[in-house]
Structure 1
Amino acid sequence: MMRAVMVLAVLVLAGIFAPQARAGEVCNETSYYVDAAKAWGGENGISAQGWQRIAPGSCVRFSGIPSGAPQFLYARTSEAYLGGAREWLGRTPVCVDRANFQIEGAQDCEAMGLEQRDFRQLAPSERARAVLVEPDDFGSRALEAGVQRLLQTLGYEVRVVDGFAGRRSRNQIAAFERDAGASFGSNYERLIERLHAVALERNREVGLNVCNQASVPVGIAIARQRNERWQSRGWWRIESGSCMRVIDERLQPGEVFVFAQTINGGNSEPLRRGVEAFCVAPGRFTSEGRANCAERGYTQVLFRPSPVPVEGIARVTLEEADFEDLVQ
């Protein structure tokens, strides 16, 4: 999935708290559920483990990290929220997997079928306990802010996410309880768990889903109109026999075009039967506009329109016949 990047700070706690903190603890003082991963340096390079899901206002502990080793942290919002993932990141590239993982000293992410994410190096005072924050510093109000954020995500009338449970928030909680057929009283932990579960279920397939039934991996690029201006972006790698949701927003007819090419050593083959020209680049890219590709350092290729979405969902299945030389 493409990243709607929000580069946010990791709060550095004063060293006086380190002796009381549990080793490797990461706390979430944002209004989002996040999935976090930690990495550390060693003789064999950088190792990493993830993912641990952290509710707003909660903490988790990462274990098995060597004492004194340089540590790195990355986090992203869960798939409960529309509009692309928000990330807490840095500048150190680390190999990660899409599912839960423990990776020892990986260096060539692509060769191992892994993804790369940019981790932030933690200060020594953060190794025992680091805190994820937003520009709005919710602090102890993170749980209430998280409830408001999920109510808003689910379409309930919450105008401001501020962590203060006023009358409007209480009214919308009551509306959700009626819809869910359950009462949570003052148990905000149970309430936010249910809100998150409902949002995940609703968002599970909304957007553009691409499945690869070809015999080799493919790279995917998309083009769509954003604020009356065309933008093309890539790449997403999809293994043979796998599927990926590359857009997680509700789609409208005619909004998205798709390009794909095989990843097969040096023998890349493009998607056939494209009709609309957009710009692409060999590595990860975002191109604003669709004209003058070559002059701007891009290559012009032909994209296909995505299928007409049904209730905001469009599905593309790529097969052998979609690529020129694979069927010869």
Structure 2
Amino acid sequence: MALPAASVSVLFSSAPAHADLKICNRMSYVVQAAIGIDDKAATATRGWFRIDPATCRVVVQGALTADRVLLNAHALSVYGSSPIPQSGTDTLCVAEENFVIAAARQCRSGQAPAQFTQITPTQTDDGNLVAYLAEDSEYDDEQARFAGIQRLLVIAGYDAAPIDGVDGPKTQAALSAFLKSRGLSNDAMQSPNFFATMVDAVQKPSSSGITWCNDTPHKVMAAVATDDGKSVTSRGWYRIDPGKCLHPDVAGQPKQIFSFAEAVDGDNRTIKIKDKPLNWGGATQLCTRESKFEINDQGDCATRGLAAIGFAPVDMTSGGKTLRFAVP
């Protein structure tokens, strides 16, 4: 799925920090956030804080006396490549799972460098401090929640586009179909775990469209391509963690769908077994690039600075197809 441009927008002021620090999510994505605390000669990081759309999360309790506060955030892997650009100038250490790193400028085993952006939170009327994650769409809380629901409905295979944060008949019809398919009542939408329920649904094999399932112990990065009879569009990359499934959005009724995936290590280098890359593709050469992409013109990949990779056609005659990636 091609992801729209998004940014981390932080509201700030010069108010002194003296109360709980909260990160609030006004994006249409469920995000994972980590913070860095720079205090004199020491810099520590902690994460991950999962924050649903239209939700706030306390990341520091009590008085905040740090010289600088820094932030790193990314969308969950179900969305494909994270739409949140990390343009910070501080490189600090993080880990895959929940972590606290006391000396975060020198990464050790099991840790990886990540870009952090300095933030200056704003002070609210109740004395707390808050920083907002926001998209260019500038959603308010209600719009962010509906846009987040729409986005996951689309990924799960329901027709809730466009993703605009507007609650209309189309979104309600898609949401009702989703709730019915999962045996949930309409009240489930008010549950604090509703986004977790939706994310879980997206990661299960679907009876329609294409579903990737990662049966390897490695992270898998995948790309999908669609042929509508006029042009072929390739999109990537989607991250599929070990033991997880992902149902990428395939819009319209394409005449043909293609798939490519490869296993990578923590530094995004291709895993090799007996000197052979661990990947799943075919003979159809289509254009890709290392970072997130959506490419409509498949001609002359190399001269445009793109990489041609062999995709495999996916047989969709049964209405749905699950591709399982396993170590041979």
Map 1:229-248 to 2 at 5 A: 229-231=232-234, 233=236, 242-243=242-243, 245=245, 248=248
What is the deviation of 1:26?
1.1
Q: Secondary structure at the match of 1:202?
A: helix
Q: Secondary structure at the match of 1:201?
A: helix
Greater displacement, 197-206 / 58-67: 58-67
1:218–1:258 CA distance, 2 compared to 1 (3 A): same
Q: Deviations over 1:75-123 (max 9, x none)?
A: 34457x86765436433455544443334556798x9566665443213
How far, CA to CA, are the matches of 2:174 and 2:259 in structure 1?
39
How far, CA to CA, are the matches of 1:292 and 1:118 in structure 2?
34
Given that 2:30 and 2:53 are in contact with CA atoms closer than 8 Å, whether structure 1 keeps it comes out as yes
How far, CA to CA, are the matches of 2:45 and 2:287 in structure 1?
35
**2:73 matched to which residue of 1?**
75
Which residue among 275, 283, 293 is the counterpart of 1:275? Answer: 283
How far, CA to CA, are the matches of 1:275 and 1:259 in structure 2?
13
Given that 1:205 and 1:313 are in contact with CA atoms closer than 8 Å, whether structure 2 keeps it comes out as no
How far, CA to CA, are the matches of 1:148 and 1:272 in structure 2?
33
Which residue among 115, 120, 132 is the counterpart of 2:117? Answer: 120
**1:324 matched to which residue of 2?**
none
1:246–1:3 CA distance, 2 compared to 1 (3 A): farther
**1:257 matched to which residue of 2?**
259
**1:304 matched to which residue of 2?**
312
**2:204 matched to which residue of 1?**
205
What is the deviation of 1:130?
0.9
**1:146 matched to which residue of 2?**
145
The residue identity in structure 2 corresponding to 1:71 is V
Give 1 or 2: higher helix fraction: 1
How far, CA to CA, are the matches of 2:301 and 2:280 in structure 1?
20
Unaligned runs of 5+ residues in structure 1 are 321-328
2:130 is the counterpart of 1:129: yes
How far, CA to CA, are the matches of 1:94 and 1:307 in structure 2?
44
Greater displacement, 303-312 / 51-60: 303-312
**1:314 matched to which residue of 2?**
322
What is the deviation of 1:11?
3.1
**2:100 matched to which residue of 1?**
102
Q: CA RMSD in A?
A: 5.1
Q: Secondary structure at the match of 1:62?
A: strand
How far, CA to CA, are the matches of 1:143 and 1:248 in structure 2?
25
1:219–1:147 CA distance, 2 compared to 1 (3 A): closer
Given that 1:274 and 1:303 are in contact with CA atoms closer than 8 Å, whether structure 2 keeps it comes out as yes
**1:39 matched to which residue of 2?**
36
1:305–1:99 CA distance, 2 compared to 1 (3 A): farther
2:48 is the counterpart of 1:14: no
Given that 1:232 and 1:278 are in contact with CA atoms closer than 8 Å, whether structure 2 keeps it comes out as no
How far, CA to CA, are the matches of 2:261 and 2:176 in structure 1?
43
1:108–1:291 CA distance, 2 compared to 1 (3 A): farther
How far, CA to CA, are the matches of 1:246 and 1:178 in structure 2?
19
1:200–1:43 CA distance, 2 compared to 1 (3 A): same
Instruction: Calculate percent identity across the aligned residue pairs.
Output: 16
What is the deviation of 1:199?
1.8
What is the deviation of 1:264?
5.2
How far, CA to CA, are the matches of 1:308 and 1:114 in structure 2?
41
Given that 1:28 and 1:58 are in contact with CA atoms closer than 8 Å, whether structure 2 keeps it comes out as yes
What is the deviation of 1:125?
5.6
